[in-house]
Structure 1
Amino acid sequence: MKSITFDQTGKPTDILKLTELSTPEPGPNEVRVKVIAAPINPSDIMFVQNLYGIRPQLPSGAGFEGVGIVEAVGEGVQMRTGIRVSFTSIGTWSEYAIAHHRSLIPVPDAMSDEVAAQLFVNPFTAYAMVQDSGVPEGGWLMLTAAGSAFGKLVIQLCAMRGIKTIGTVRRDEMNDELKALGLTEVINTESENLAARVKQITDGVGVACILDAVGGHTATEAIKCLARGGKMLIYGLMSLQDPVLNAGLLIFRELTVKGFWLTDWMRRVDSQTRMDVAQNVIGLLTSGKIQMPVEATYPLHEITEAVEHADRPGRRGKILLKP
C-alpha cells in the first residue's frame, strides 16, 4: 500500500515522502480501514515537527483522522466490515490505516466523505471548548485566528447559543464571510489595538473567555481583554512563541489561564458526555446547520503541494488527501 511517512522530524515539505508498505493486519481490538479521505490539520503538522503532545516513533506515518471503510477486524472486535466510519489513528495519510475500534464513529449516509473526514479533531474540540468556556447566552467570547477552520466552527456554535463573539484576524479579506457565519465583531491585530477595541466593544467590561491558538504577542495582548474572573483556554501555538503572562493582571483580576487538549478532555469526561458530544456534532453537521468547507483535495503523491496549500494564508476551507 502507499503511505505518507517520515524518518526524521522537521519541515513537512522537506521530510514527508510517499512510501510503499505492506498492507497491515489488525491486532486484538483493532480494525483495518480503507481510507477514503483525510484532512491536513495543524496538529498533524505539529506532530511531524515533533512539536505536539504525542511524539512520533520514527519511522512514522502522518495524519490523525480520516474517513474510510472497515475492511478487516481483529480479535475481540464486534463490528461488521463494510461500514463507513470516521476514525482517529496515527498514519491516516495512507491507503489503509489501523485504528482501535473505540476510535471509530459510524457516519450516516447523509454525511459526505468530505465532512466525515473532518468529524473528530475540529468539531469535537470546538464543541468541547465552547462548553468548557462557560460563557452564557448574551456573554462575550473571544477567539484568535478566527478565520481558521476551527474558528469558523466556534463562531457558528456560539451564534446558535446566543453567545456574542469577537474574532481576531491579520487580514481583512475574510471579514464579510466571518460576519455571515455569525461573528459579532472582528479585530485586525495588525492595524488595531486589541485591548482598546475590546474595551470599546464590551463597554469596558472585557470578555468572559478567550480561546487562543496563536500564543506569542497575540495571546499576550489578548489576556488584557479578559473581564474580572475571566479565563483563557490555550489550544495551540501557531506563532511557536510562548505568551508573556502579566502576574499583576492574573492576581488582581483573578484570571485563569489553562491549556486544552482534546485527547485529555476525552479521557477526563465520562462516556455519556462523549456520546452526547458525538451525537450533537453529527446532528449539526448532517443537518447542514454547521458548515465545514473543503478548499482542495490532493492525491497522496502530491503531499508536498498539499501541505504547502494547507499552510497558505487566507484559505477558505480544509485541505484533504484522498488516497
Structure 2
Amino acid sequence: MHAWLCENPVGVDALQWKELPTPEPGAGQVRLRIEAASLNFPDLLIVQNKYQMKPPLPFVPGSEYAGVIEAVGEGVKHLKAGQRVACLSGTGGFGTHTLAPAALCMPLPEGFPAVDAAAFIMIYATSHHALIDRAQLKAGETVLVLGAAGGVGTAAIQIAKAAGARVIAATSSDEKCALCAQLGADATINYSTHAPQGSLRDEIKRLTEGKGPDVVYDPVGGDFAEPVFRSIAWRGRYLVVGFASGPIPALPLNLPLLKGASIVGVFWGDFSKREPQANAAMMQTLAAQYAKGLIKPLVERTLPMSELKQAFAVMGSRAVKGKLVLVN
C-alpha cells in the first residue's frame, strides 16, 4: 500500500507519499481499499499539531473516507469482505488502504457513490446533531448559518430546510450567496458587504423583521460571534460548531441573560462515542434523507490522491464551496 505519512507535524509540506506494508486487521477492525477520501478542516490542523487529538507519530492523516472491505478482523460479524462502507475514524484516509474500526463503518446502500460517501459523515452528522438534537429546531423557525458555503454550512442549509425551517445563509461573496440560494437558502448575507463590525446586525434585523434568528449555526467564530449573538431572537440557541476564522471568541455573559438565550456546544465526535445508539439512529435517518434526495454533499472538485498537497492549498485559500475529495 501507499499513503501520505506524517512523521513530523509541522505542516502539509512535511507529508511524504510512502510505500508501507499492507496491514492485517486486528480484532474489531476491517481493512479497506480506499476509493475516496475528503478533506476537512481538522485534517489541516492535525498535521500542524494544532488539533485536540494528537495521534502517535508517525500517522496517516485523512479523517473521512469510503471504500471496499478487503478483510475483517476477529469479532467483526456485521461486515464482510466486498462490502462498501464509509468511515470517519480521525486518521488513515489519505492512502490506498487503511485499517478502520468496524464499529465506525457506515454500510453504504446501493447507489451511494464513493465520492459522496467520503464527503458525507462529518458534515451531515455534525449539522444534524447540532440543529436537530442540540438546538431542537422546529418547523417555521429561522436559522442563520455562518460560513454557509463551506462543507458543514452547505449541510446545515439542507438539514434545516428538510426540517421545515427558514434559512438565512451568510458567506463571503455574491457567488457563494448564489450557491447557497441554489441549495435552498431563503435569504443570503454577503459579509464582505455587511461586515461584523459594520452593517451585519442591521442586515440580520432587516431579514428577520426585527426578531432575530431563532438558531445560529456558527462554525466560524472570531469577530462574528458577539455581533451575531447580540442579534439573536428571544430564547434563541447559539450553536458553537467551530472556529474556522482562527480566534476563539469570548462573549459577555450578560448577553444570554438579556436574550433568554442559550450558548450550545456541538461536539459530534464525543456524542458518537458517548451515545452510540442515538448516533447510529441518526446516521440511518441521514442515509434515508440522502436516498430521498433531501440532502447531497456539495463536492466542488475531485483530485487524485497524489495531489493531496495541492488540495490542502486550495482548501487553505478559503475559496472552496462545499468539499474537496481525493480519489484513488
TM normalised by structure 1 equals: 0.94
1:52 aligns with 2:51: yes
Q: Per-residue deviation at 1:144?
A: 0.7
Q: Distance in 2 between matches of 1:198 and 1:30?
A: 48
Aligned to 1:110: 111
Aligned to 1:96: 97
SS in 2 for 1:110: coil
Aligned to 1:226: 232
1:293 aligns with 2:294: no
Alignment check: 8 A CA contact 1:141 1:210 kept: yes
Give runs of aligned pairs for residues 9-88 of structure 1, distance below 5 A: 9-12=9-12, 14-78=13-77, 79-88=79-88
SS in 1 for 2:175: coil
Q: Distance in 2 between matches of 1:119 and 1:303?
A: 19
SS in 1 for 2:148: coil
User: How many residues matched?
Assistant: 321
Unaligned runs of 5+ in 2: none
Q: Distance in 1 between matches of 2:259 and 2:299?
A: 41
Give runs of aligned pairs for residues 119-268 of structure 1, distance below 5 A: 119-131=120-132, 132-192=134-194, 193-268=199-274
Q: Per-residue deviation at 1:97?
A: 0.7
Q: Distance in 1 between matches of 2:128 and 2:186?
A: 19
Alignment check: 8 A CA contact 1:146 1:152 kept: yes
SS in 2 for 1:129: helix
SS in 1 for 2:214: strand
Q: Per-residue deviation at 1:266?
A: 1.3
Alignment check: 8 A CA contact 2:22 2:97 kept: yes
Using the TM superposition, name which of 293-302 and 79-88 deviates more: 293-302
List per-residue Cα deviations over 1:270-313 (Å, max 9, x = no partner). Answer: 51x22321122112223333221322222232221121122333
Q: Per-residue deviation at 1:316?
A: 3.3
* Aligned structure 1 segments of 4 or more residues deviating by more than 4 angstroms: none
Q: Distance in 2 between matches of 1:161 and 1:308?
A: 35
CA separation of 1:245 and 1:317: change in aligned 2, threshold 3 A: closer
Aligned to 2:310: 305
Q: Per-residue deviation at 1:103?
A: 0.7
Alignment check: 8 A CA contact 1:266 1:274 kept: yes
CA separation of 1:276 and 1:231: change in aligned 2, threshold 3 A: same
SS in 1 for 2:174: coil
List per-residue Cα deviations over 1:224-283 (Å, max 9, x = no partner). Answer: 121222221111111110113122212222332232111112134351x22321122112
Using the TM superposition, name which of 303-312 and 60-69 deviates more: 303-312
Q: Distance in 1 between matches of 2:304 and 2:207?
A: 45
Q: Distance in 2 between matches of 1:310 and 1:129?
A: 23
Q: Distance in 1 between matches of 2:261 and 2:10?
A: 36
Alignment check: 8 A CA contact 1:48 1:56 kept: no
List per-residue Cα deviations over 1:106-151 (Å, max 9, x = no partner). Answer: 1012111111112211111111112022232111111110111221
Q: Taking every aligned residue pair, what percent have the same amino acid on both sides? A: 28
Alignment check: 8 A CA contact 1:18 1:300 kept: no
Alignment check: 8 A CA contact 1:115 1:285 kept: no
TM normalised by structure 2 equals: 0.92
Using the TM superposition, name which of 116-125 and 243-252 deviates more: 243-252
Alignment check: 8 A CA contact 2:142 2:214 kept: yes
List per-residue Cα deviations over 1:37-80 (Å, max 9, x = no partner). Answer: 10011121122222323123221210111111111111111132
Alignment check: 8 A CA contact 1:298 1:320 kept: yes
Alignment check: 8 A CA contact 2:25 2:71 kept: yes
Q: Distance in 2 between matches of 1:282 and 1:51?
A: 32
Alignment check: 8 A CA contact 2:149 2:322 kept: no
